[in-house]
Amino acid sequence: MTAAMYDLMDFDEVLETFDPVMGLEVHVELNTQTKMFSSSATNFSAAPNSNVDPVSLGLPGALPVVNAKGVEGAIKIGLALNCSIAESSRFARKNYFYPDQPKNYQISQYDEPIAYNGYLDVVLEDGTKWRVEIERAHMEEDTGKLTHLGGVGGRIEGATTSLVDFNRAGIPLIEIVTKPIIGAGARAPEVAKAYVGALRELVAALGVSDARMDQGSMRVDSNLSLRPIGQEEFGTRTETKNINSLRSVEQAVRFEMQRQARVLEDGGSIEQETRHYQETNGTTSKGRPKETADDYRYFNDPDLPPVIAPREWVEEIRQTLPEMPWIRRARIQQEWDIKDEEMRDLVNAGALDLIIATVEAGAQPSEARSWWVSYLAGKANEAGVELVALPITPQQVVRVIGLIKEGKLTTKLARKAVDGVLAGEGDIDEVVKARGLEVVRDDGAIEKAVDEALAANPDIVEKYRAGNKKVTGAIVGAVMKATRGKADPAQVNKLIAAKLN
């Protein structure tokens, strides 16, 4: 189905009648060496079904043992989200038929999560702060992975064969659940995006997960309902799954608002169901009717003792938390003394860490910013890759800045040197040498070029002598051309002045 085939209400019209209520559930895969309840490895590249053991295969009689690193990761996330950390929490069995989880239950946490009652302050595009309240962050295990063959686009519909890989089964997951987000109105899609973006940044800064939405190490489900403006009681929600980019989070919320509003306006009702986000056209499509908690028959897992988190341990972990990304950002912005807008641009360009690394390697902040944002971001854009993926290091940028300072390269030549590095021709010094980029210092050669240029442009010489000192641009241009851009413009100007005065 395409978006046009859905009967959607105009977004602004939705807000005349309805008030959106939103809830976000984010799963974060921890980057522990071993699984949550067994010693199998977790590496992504392993051959299918090689990272398995009796516990992750759910063989009878196998006993799970809690991974302390997994608990530590959960506590880190909980603390960073301003949650209370339970001194004692419990694992429960969530019963369900999982073709990719052979014991037919998932070990999760239910009424005694490890972290609860927190918040995350996020900043919206216009700089407004929005507080998202966190209901809980709990530990659970991931399922295996199914691959469907014979259908269209790897989907189960029309498939003739399904393959299962249990390598992922048992990898630690932290599920972070917000309290209902109310009052966002027209900004609901933006709040959702800002929250997931901030959470992703936070989790990556904590070092507990690489938090890649595109690779599934961070997964978002977005719950949305509408209620008539002025009504206290929440409407029925849908839960949209399969969202794998920040842009999609925003679009999924927007789409559900517009779809549900039309259904309700036409006198229909919303079923509590899961829906699937369609990356290709930004729509959601019907999944399965949503189970209620009762359907899962949760009960405490008798194989696992309570998780005890002594206060001293929690405080020790608190001491290891890094500076929160947004605090670091504010500090750096102040240190560099730049405007909000410029800061936002360089953050959006993915340049912040690269600029910081370049400054740490010896560049001035303004020089580092100029290279990464004004020049390299454009190159990344042209190549269709992330800035960080460009084949140039902060050290190389520092080197090229140094060569400009020493007068060995002009900005123009420096760009050519950088282009060479990007093209894989070697490091800055190698490219400068191979392409013969170094500024010509030979006074004789430059003087000759100046003399020739002056002789070829008598009209300019005349104007200059008549008092118009600004006409020398054409002479400089001619000299640059004659030296293939390798003369130092300052030196050329000096020579011209000396000859004409």
Residues near Mg ion, by CB under 5 A: 25
Q: Which of residues 159, 177, 314, 482 is near ligand ADP by CB under 6 A?
A: 177
Q: Answer yes or no whether residue 21 interacts with ligand ADP by CB under 6 A.
A: yes
Is there a contact between 29 and 172 (Cβ–Cβ < 8 Å)?
yes
* Whole-number Å distance between alpha carbons of 213 and 219: 6
Partner in contact with 224, chosen from Mg ion, ligand ADP, none, beta carbon below 5 to 8 Å by kind: ligand ADP
- Least distance (Å) from Mg ion to the CB of residue 244? 18
Select 291 or 342, whichever has its Cβ closest to Mg ion.
Answer: 291
Q: Which of residues 234, 313, 326, 375 is near ligand ADP by CB under 6 A?
A: 234
- Least distance (Å) from Mg ion to the CB of residue 25? 5
Which DSSP string corresponds to 47-111?
A: PTT-S--TTTTT-TT------HHHHHHHHHHHHHTT-EE-SEE--EEEE---TTSTTSEEEE--S
Select 165 or 221, whichever has its Cβ closest to Mg ion.
Answer: 221
- 325 DSSP β-pair partners: none
Burial class (CB in 10 A: 0-12, 13-18, 19+), 273: middle
273-278 and 238-243 strand pairing: parallel
Burial class (CB in 10 A: 0-12, 13-18, 19+), 328: middle
- Least distance (Å) from ligand ADP to the CB of residue 96? 11
Q: Answer yes or no whether residue 112 interacts with ligand ADP by CB under 6 A.
A: no
Q: Which two tokens stand for residue 36?
A: 């949550």
Say which amino acid occupies 291: E
Q: How many CA atoms lie within 13 A of 343 on its CB side?
A: 17
Footprint (CB under 6 A) of ligand ADP, residues 236-255 = 237, 239
Q: Which of residues 85, 107, 132, 224 is near ligand ADP by CB under 6 A?
A: 224
Say which amino acid occupies 112: E
- Least distance (Å) from Mg ion to the CB of residue 223? 9
Select 24 or 373, whichever has its Cβ closest to ligand ADP.
Answer: 24
Is there a contact between 454 and 499 (Cβ–Cβ < 8 Å)?
yes
- Least distance (Å) from ligand ADP to the CB of residue 179? 5
* Whole-number Å distance between alpha carbons of 288 and 395: 52
* Whole-number Å distance between alpha carbons of 85 and 92: 18
Q: Answer yes or no whether residue 179 interacts with ligand ADP by CB under 6 A.
A: yes
The beta strand positions in 143-262, using DSSP E, are 145-149, 161-165, 172-178, 218-228, 238-243
Kindly indicate which of the ranges 185-193, 220-228, 400-408, 414-422 contains the residues binding ligand ADP, using the contact rule CB under 6 A.
220-228
- Least distance (Å) from Mg ion to the CB of residue 221? 7
Footprint (CB under 6 A) of ligand ADP, residues 121-140 = 135
- Least distance (Å) from ligand ADP to the CB of residue 235? 6
Say which DSSP state 293 is in: G
Select 76 or 136, whichever has its Cβ closest to Mg ion.
Answer: 136
Kindly indicate which of the ranges 33-41, 73-81, 118-126, 217-225 contains the residues binding ligand ADP, using the contact rule CB under 6 A.
217-225
Q: Answer yes or no whether residue 223 interacts with ligand ADP by CB under 6 A.
A: yes
Q: Which of residues 38, 56, 109, 225 is near ligand ADP by CB under 6 A?
A: 225
Interface positions with ligand ADP (CB under 6 A): 21-25, 135, 177-180, 223-225, 234, 237, 239
